[in-house]
Amino acid sequence: KQEVTQIPAALSVPEGENLVLNCSFTDSAIYNLQWFRQDPGKGLTSLLLIQSSQREQTSGRLNASLDKSSGRSTLYIAASQPGDSATYLCASTGANSKLTFGKGITLSVRP
């Protein structure tokens, strides 16, 4: 059974800092890994999707990497802004076509 872990559960950084959010998973037999953002009380916004054959994806200030052999993915946020404050979730898609989510990292960017 796939388990996805995100540590720490919460993170507070000053504005302008570059930061890395970590995601680990136990079963490397995944089709892809997706990073999402969730604002309080809202749905999920897809940030980046990395297929299992890819190593990384970039979108603006965001860069996500995937290392299947070590069961790790990272989301790099450059020059963080207060508007980046949200909960960030990673999720892997396994053979049964379901997304298995981590519990998320709640990020607070201080002005």
Partner 1 sequence: KAGVTQTPRYLIKTRGQQVTLSCSPISGHRSVSWYQQTPGQGLQFLFEYFSETQRNKGNFPGRFSGRQFSNSRSEMNVSTLELGDSALYLCASSPDRVEYNEQFFGPGTRLTVL
Task: Find the shortest distance in angstroms from Cβ 97 to partner 1.
Answer: 5
Task: Find the shortest distance in angstroms from Cβ 1 to partner 1.
Answer: 10
What whole-number distance in Å separates Cα of residue 111 and Cα of residue 89?
Answer: 23
Report the site for partner 1 in 65-94 (rule: CB under 8 A): 89, 91, 93
What whole-number distance in Å separates Cα of residue 108 and Cα of residue 55?
Answer: 27
What whole-number distance in Å separates Cα of residue 88 and Cα of residue 73?
Answer: 13
Q: Which residues bind partner 1 (CB under 8 A)?
A: 31-32, 34, 36, 41-46, 49, 51, 89, 91, 93, 96-104
